[in-house]
Structure 1
């Protein structure tokens, strides 16, 4: 008896279930680490299929996986090839967007004529020239850095493809604020309850992670992200997005939604404090500064600035001397005689300046710091701690690379600010000034830390860059139409 079309699906499901029973038994008999690897492979294959068939969903899946995969690492007790996983998912999503039958991109971006994309392309060409840099010992670090650059550019292109209307922009930031709030909730739980057993076990296995988490003043929380620094940087940027939304009119955002946003903001500020990231503490007022300057005519903005200023002064000069979190926040702004780390950084920067002047194309990619010891052992910069994104760029890419980096960061800010003044709807204006504030906070944070070079924060910066590029053309088209 032949099977009809109606009977095929139940037979397939029954067959898969029959195969699943021995498969689960086999996986259960393996060690925990290998069980995670097998299950991860199955889930990864299914995720790749989803990214290929629905690139819009795949875009959000890529960001979610990149944000939460460190949690799976800690649960499994082993490091995963995170870069490879991200590359595969991004590649599948890109292919899905190219071969998608949906023609929902109503506004096209002239990729060959857009100024910011042209600067990105010139910077990419300069990175390719670094393969010929005679100062580098090997090209391993250059290959890795170029691969990361291509990954970031794919994210820019996918962000351009994803945002087809201002409603898509709002949907993205609903997702972004939700992810950051979940990260803040997890971080607060880690602070209030303590690290979970598998987290303590994981950081004890790796000395470099132990040093960044456990300090004399207490434990720095990291949520489900890679480390406390990434958590602090991302939450600092997200506060620059949430705070402006609280000044919206009742017509734009209802009181109930404002309450949720306020709770999310409080949780994120608490988690930022618990992360112990001094760079993040400085980034918060820098991100809000852009919003305050652009909205001095708004009464709600002035009230919000006064409240923020009073709270800031209370933290800096209030009678709180026993709380280690508040003490660490103060050292980010007023310094501390007992904290010599900032002084050491200044000494290192002055000591290395002659090298920058003598090497206009730098010492080669991935030659400074710990990466230099790994990819270019014996290099004069190997082991030198840059402690700054700009300093690392100047050392490895020379002042030519530093100029190109500053140029595209400046242009990203210009795009974001101009989009704010072009937008008509209040909700769009507040979101876009939040993007400008977040990018400005990241630019300032680059001085003290590699904010745009960290794994998850790079996703944020280049996703915002792609969104700013696409929004420019969306708003231009809407203006012409009216």
Structure 2
């Protein structure tokens, strides 16, 4: 039977090549746009096949595409439906994971009774009910967009739960993000030191509405190869936290050579964080490290790392760097009422409070976007929580906060349930990064953009899976 299947597969491959080769030869001889279309089709089919045959590779391909596709968009000079592209890859990867029946590791998760997963179900039901929200009865575009993004995030979270089967898988997951964020930071430093590439300048000139926050009084906010400076700053802050927490590990867990790379990565990411001009991200790093100090204060490496960070922070805040625009932007994040733009945000929040109390289910998804036609048309929420309460009402905000509380509780429990140093350090990384993201959502829509959402929901999936893995006798392999 197996021999017959193998022969049928080989015959199928031969037939495909007999058909494809002449098509490639003919299309390549046509106009350039058809050649580009052909290349895109070949790459797309290859990615689809890889994702079906190896869903783990498919997931990391989807993350890589999400982080780098904006660079291809700018190089081509035209808009790419990024969300649809990522959705397609994730759905194909999901099909591949469901076909992998011999992988029974996911059966450890109780999808019917787990409290955290139930909160996701309830929130998903609330999204369905929002379809009947009378505030946007004449426009369903916001609902369809938000629902599609929610499904994408749930698929990504499920795939991560399938991918992470033990500590080795979690180690690979963290390595992937460290490497990708280091590459992004390196490219950001090139943009800062040598200026934006010609194709990037041309793209900004063609689509200026996408880059309203790039040009500020202190200079250009760097965005690397992701969508905008805000999300770039958020993921750079997450990368800094990951590196710092791992640097507090013993030499037995992380060798000196690997620690040297983490230091190199940290330097690049910290500089890139400054170049992004994202003040919320500046606050994320100390918030994440604050949790690390609280739960790990008895360890010498943690105390040394905390002291080094405090000294660097004091030098940054009070050192003689009065002409550097990046340092000025960083200092403004901690200046409180001295910063005018932050005061404007507070004024907007107080001004919109009557609307919140009058609309318990909100004004509808994406009603804050310009052109929505709602009462909130063009209102700048500048906060993930504020956007939630405006568009989904106090009910939606309550559901989100309950979910965050349960997830944070899981993370703390996972840390104290960990037995080995590897387990403790990796669970601590997740706890610190997630706490920083949760804090950042007060002033930034950190979990709403594709790049940061993949990391946010990925860590959520890992947290749920670790709850079950840490109760197993051996999860190291």
Please tell me the TM-score bracket, short chain as reference: over 0.9
Alpha-carbon distance between aligned partners in 2 of 1:133 and 1:94, rounded to the nearest angstrom: 31
| Matches for 1:247-258 after TM superposition, within 5 Å | 247-258=248-259
Counterpart contact for 2:24–2:38, Cα < 8 Å: no
Task: State the alpha-carbon separation in 1 of the partners of residues 333 and 357 from structure 2.
Answer: 30
Matched residue SS, 1:135? helix
| Pair 1:80-2:80 in alignment | yes
1:215-234 correspondence runs (5 A): 215-234=216-235
1:300-324 CA-to-partner distances (Å, cap 9, x unmatched) read 1111101100100111111110110
Residues 106 and 161 in structure 2, CA contact (< 8 A), matched pair in contact too: no
Where do 5+ consecutive residues of structure 2 fail to align?
1-6
| Distance (Å, rounded) in 2 between the aligned partners of 1:366 and 1:48 | 31
On the 8 A contact 1:204/1:210 being kept in 2, the answer is no
Deviation at 1:10, TM superposition (A): 8.5
* Alpha-carbon distance between aligned partners in 2 of 1:208 and 1:41, rounded to the nearest angstrom: 30
**Per-residue displacement from partner, 1:247-279 (whole Å, max 9, x unpaired)?**
111111111111011111111001010111111
- Of the structure 1 ranges 159-168 and 419-428, higher mean CA displacement relative to structure 2 is found in 419-428
Question: Residues 216, 271 of structure 1: CA spacing in aligned structure 2 closer, same or farther, 3 A cutoff?
Answer: same
| Counterpart residue number, 2:396 | 401
Unaligned regions of 5+ residues in structure 1, if any?
none
Query: Which residue of the partner structure matches residue 323 of structure 2?
Result: 322
Q: Distance in 2 between matches of 1:41 and 1:47?
A: 10
Question: 1:104 touches 1:164 (CA, 8 Å); kept in 2?
Answer: no
Q: Distance in 2 between matches of 1:40 and 1:266?
A: 36
Cα distance in 2, alignment partners of residues 394 and 162 from structure 1: 33
Instruction: Say which of 428, 446, 449 aligns to 2:444.
Output: 449
Structure-2 separation of matches of 1:480 and 1:49: 30
| Other structure's SS at 1:363 match | coil
Q: Which residue of 2 aligns with 1:264?
A: 265
Aligned residue for 1:424, secondary structure, equals coil
| Shift, 1:38, TM fit | 4.0
> Aligned equivalents of 1:41 and 1:69: distance in 2?
16
Shift in CA distance, 294/46, structure 1 to aligned 2, threshold 3 Å: same
Q: How many Å apart are 1:54 and its aligned residue?
A: 1.1
Hey, what's the Cα distance between the residues in 2 that align with 1:480 and 1:311? Answer: 38
Check whether the contact 1:36–1:76 (CA below 8 A) recurs between aligned residues. no
Q: Residues 60 and 256 from structure 1, CA distance in 2 versus in 1: closer, same or farther, beyond 3 angstroms? A: same
TM-score, normalized by length of structure 2?
Answer: 0.93
SS of alignment partner, residue 462 of structure 2: helix
What is the count of residue pairs matched by the alignment?
A: 467
Give, in whole Å, the separation in 2 of the partners of 1:358 and 1:109.
40
Tell me the equivalent position of 1:173: 174
Name the structure 1 match of 2:3: none
Identify which of 449, 453, 473 aligns with 2:468.
473
Per the alignment, residue 68 of structure 2 pairs with 68
Moved more, 105-114 or 353-362: 105-114
How far residue 37 of structure 1 moved from its aligned partner, in angstroms, is 4.2
- Mapping for residues 63-212 of structure 1, pairs under 5 Å: 63-103=63-103, 105=105, 108-136=108-136, 137-212=138-213
Partner of 2:429: 434
SS for the counterpart of 2:321 is coil
Q: Give the root-mean-square deviation of aligned CA atoms.
A: 2.2
Distance in 2 (CA, whole Å) between partners of 1:355 and 1:19 is 59
- For residue 110 of structure 1, give the secondary structure of its aligned residue in structure 2: coil
Question: Does structure 2 retain, via aligned residues, the 8 Å contact 1:107–1:473?
Answer: no
Partner Cα separation in structure 2 for residue 336 and residue 365 of structure 1: 31
- CA contact under 8 A between 1:295 and 1:301: conserved in structure 2? yes
Q: Given that residues 145 and 365 in structure 1 are in contact (C-alpha distance below 8 angstroms), is that contact kept between their aligned partners in structure 2?
A: yes
